[in-house]
């Protein structure tokens, strides 16, 4: 009855704030909950806190450790843009994000303790963002007084799976591009190197598309079946359904490609008509990802829709940091990558045309030579004898008028044998 009084008191507040009828109805249930649940919940939290810094070690939420390696935080940022479900629902209703350098309320040793407790409790997955850096014995990345590689190995060893998100985590990303000063490489390669056998799931992209991360989490967290996830993986341990078809396959501008309607200049009239960006170096035809289907930022847009050619940020071969997307795709606005010999870089066309041109020039020069030496019209006279034959008269191949001096074996019969059409075999 007390509650009813509170309700009427609130009517004006609610209406002035435009609270809907629906949420008003919710309010009634909420009050009941406030009376009931709060008394249950608060001691539960207090108790959990006394037991450990991460609360209960099991429950409805799947424990997750999210480590940022050498990252720009872009993948966390990207994940924070997820709208279906929104990120708050993910961290409150789906996963227990016990360690996240960007979202954790804790800091310093207590967040490290949360990580240690989660590792000790086991049955968690590790999400790793950013590259693994090996330079200076791993000191190119230092966290909590130790190297980044130590932290990775500790967390990966006991994990059910490691999800390497973003192209940096898959094979070093842009950091691995020439000259790779921090000696970046991917999670899978590093763990293989140090003998950690936890399965690695690679989800490339710069940044990773949050919907792809969710699709991985759905298998593990919602459907609770790790095999579903592992069975989806292709030869690069990437979810095959996401990274088999090319951007070109699913591009909204593909029709214009087929029609031969192209944008040749940024921001042009053709761009306004949504023509194909292929002549501007779009890497869609050689980049395997579902961007055009998943879209970005709550399906608001994607690169090609905004008028930008694909720059192939999902290109990442886990076993080879040299095959990182920057190295493979620069210059971004040319059809093909630059090739590199040391510090000398060139386009494939340049070298190919140069070699072909050189050859053609040689042929022309040679042609003049042939002309000058009088070989153009029927060639030079035949040699009388093979050089080898003249030196080895007893083993000679040909039969000559003279075994040393050579010369044709003039024979009318043989001419007939070889030249007479009726005589042919």
Q: Does 408 bind another protein (CB under 8 A)?
A: yes
Q: How far is the CB of 295 from another protein (least distance, A)?
A: 9
Question: Which listed residue (85, 92, 225, 402) binds another protein by CB under 8 A?
Answer: 92
Q: Assess 169 for contact with another protein (CB under 8 A).
A: no
CB 283 within 8 A of CB 329: yes
Q: Is the peptide bond before 352 cis (omega within 30 degrees of 0)?
A: no
Q: Contact between 4 and another protein (CB under 8 A)?
A: no
Residues paired with 62 in a beta bridge: 95
Identify the residue among 85, 122, 393, 398 touching another protein (CB under 8 A).
398
List the x/- string, 215-234, binding to another protein by CB under 8 A: --------------------
Site string for another protein, 355-394 (x = CB under 8 A): xx--xx--x--xx-xx--x-xxxxxxxxxxxxxxx-----
Q: Which stretch binds another protein (CB under 8 A): 36-44, 194-202, 211-219, 222-230?
A: 36-44
- Give the shortest CB-213-to-another protein separation in angstroms: 14
Using CB under 8 A as the binding criterion, the count of chain residues that bind another protein stands at 209
According to the binding rule CB under 8 A, does residue 174 interact with another protein?
yes
109 or 193: whose CB is closer to another protein?
109
Q: Report if residue 184 touches another protein, rule: CB under 8 A.
A: yes
Report the DSSP pairing between strands 339-341 and 344-346: antiparallel
In terms of CB distance, is 227 or 344 closer to another protein?
344
* Rounded Cα gap, residues 325 and 166, in angstroms: 11
In the bound complex, what is the minimum distance in angstroms from residue 200's beta carbon to another protein? 17
251, 272 in Cβ contact below 8 A? no
* Burial of residue 212 (number of CB atoms within 10 Å: 0-12, 13-18, 19+): buried
Strand-pairing partners, residue 324, are 316
Cis peptide before 26 (omega within 30 of 0): no
How far apart (Å, rounded) are the C-alpha atoms in residues 38 and 354? 78
Which of 21, 197, 227, 267 is close enough to bind another protein by CB under 8 A? 267
Q: Which structure tokens are listed for 402?
A: 């003279």
- Extract the tokens encoding 159: 């994990």
Q: Which of residues 185-204 bind another protein (CB under 8 A)?
A: none
Count the neighbouring beta carbons within 10 Å of the beta carbon of residue 277.
27
CA of residue 159 relative to chain centroid, distance: 23
| Residue 339 makes contact with another protein by CB under 8 A | yes
H-run or E-run covering 147 = strand 146-147
- Give dist(CA 242, CA 288) in Å, integer: 8
Find the binder of another protein among 21, 145, 341, 394 (CB under 8 A).
145
Helix (H, G, I), strand (E, B), or coil: what is residue 203?
strand
- DSSP state letter for 393: G
Q: How far is the CB of 197 from another protein (least distance, A)?
A: 22
Which residue among 228, 352, 365, 404 contacts another protein (CB under 8 A)?
Answer: 352
Nearer to another protein, 388 or 393 (CB): 388
For residue 31, state whether it binds another protein (rule: CB under 8 A): yes
- Candidate segments 2-10, 152-160, 187-195, 213-221, binder of another protein by CB under 8 A: 2-10
d(CA 271, CA 253): 11
Under the binding rule (CB under 8 A), the answer on residue 63 touching another protein is yes
- 313 scored as a contact of another protein (CB under 8 A): yes
Q: Under the criterion CB under 8 A, does residue 160 sit at the interface with another protein?
A: no
Please give the structure tokens belonging to residue 369.
């030579």
């Amino acid at each position: 009855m007390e509650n009813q009084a509170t309700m009427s008191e609130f009517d004006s507040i609610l209406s002035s704030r435009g609270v809907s009828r629906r949420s008003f109805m919710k309010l009634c249930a909420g009050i009941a909950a406030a009376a009931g649940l709060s008394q249950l919940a608060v001691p539960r939290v207090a108790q959990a806190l006394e037991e450990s810094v991460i609360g209960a070690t099991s429950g409805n939420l799947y424990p997750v450790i999210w480590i940022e390696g050498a990252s720009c935080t872009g993948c966390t940022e990207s994940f924070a843009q997820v709208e279906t479900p929104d990120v708050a629902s993910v961290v409150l209703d789906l996963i227990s994000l016990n360690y996240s350098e960007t979202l954790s309320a804790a800091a310093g040793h207590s967040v490290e303790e949360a990580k240690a407790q989660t590792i000790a409790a086991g049955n968690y997955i590790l999400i790793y963002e950013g590259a693994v850096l090996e330079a200076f014995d791993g000191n190119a990345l230092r966290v909590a007084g130790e190297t980044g590689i130590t932290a990775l190995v500790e967390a990966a060893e006991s994990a059910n799976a490691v999800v390497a998100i973003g192209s940096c985590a898959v094979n070093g990303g842009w950091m691995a591009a020439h000259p790779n000063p921090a000696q970046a490489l991917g999670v899978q390669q590093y763990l293989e190197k140090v003998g950690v056998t936890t399965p690695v799931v690679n989800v490339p992209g710069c940044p990773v598309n949050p919907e792809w991360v969710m699709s991985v989490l759905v298998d593990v967290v919602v459907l609770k079946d790790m095999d579903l996830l592992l069975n989806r993986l292709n030869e690069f341990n990437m979810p095959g359904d996401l990274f088999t078809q090319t951007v070109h396959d699913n591009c909204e501008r593909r029709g214009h490609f087929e029609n031969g309607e192209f944008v040749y200049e940024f921001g042009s009239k053709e761009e306004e008509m949504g023509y194909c960006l292929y002549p501007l170096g779009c890497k869609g035809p050689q980049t395997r990802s579902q961007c055009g289907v998943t879209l970005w930022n709550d399906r608001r847009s994607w690169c090609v829709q905004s008028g930008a050619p694909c720059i192939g940020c999902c290109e990442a071969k886990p076993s080879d940091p040299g095959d990182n997307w920057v190295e493979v795709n620069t210059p971004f606005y040319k059809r093909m990558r630059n090739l590199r010999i040391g510090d000398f870089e060139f386009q494939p066309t340049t070298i190919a045309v140069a070699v072909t041109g050189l050859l053609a020039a040689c042929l022309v020069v040679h042609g003049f030579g042939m002309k000058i030496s009088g070989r153009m019209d029927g060639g030079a006279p035949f040699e009388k004898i093979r050089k080898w034959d003249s030196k080895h008269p007893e083993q000679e191949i040909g039969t000559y008028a003279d075994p040393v001096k050579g010369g044709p074996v003039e024979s009318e019969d043989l001419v007939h044998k070889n030249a007479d059409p009726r005589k042919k075999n």
